[in-house]
Amino acid sequence: HTLGALIALYEHRTFVQSVIWDIDCFDQWGVELGKQIGNEILPKLLGESEDGSAGDSATDNLIRLFRDRSGT
């Protein structure tokens, strides 16, 4: 019960500060960007895409390593 009250207090504090500062504190653009990138990379990880390149060498190497170890 106490933990729930503490979490509610922090959520309320965050909301009140966002109203004062005129920002949208619950706008999670980073989460949406991660979903978009993940949706682009998933077919490459699963071997469903002919183009295995993600655009940068570090990600390409990780995709290759994943596919080699998973057998896809």
pLDDT along the chain (72 residues), means of 10: 94 93 84 89 85 79 90 75
pLDDT at residue 26, rounded to an integer: 79
Q: Return the domain boundaries, the chain.
A: 2-70
**Whole-model pTM over 0.75:** no
User: Can you tell me which residue has the tokens 């706008």?
Assistant: 27
pLDDT at residue 7, rounded to an integer: 95
pLDDT at residue 27, rounded to an integer: 80
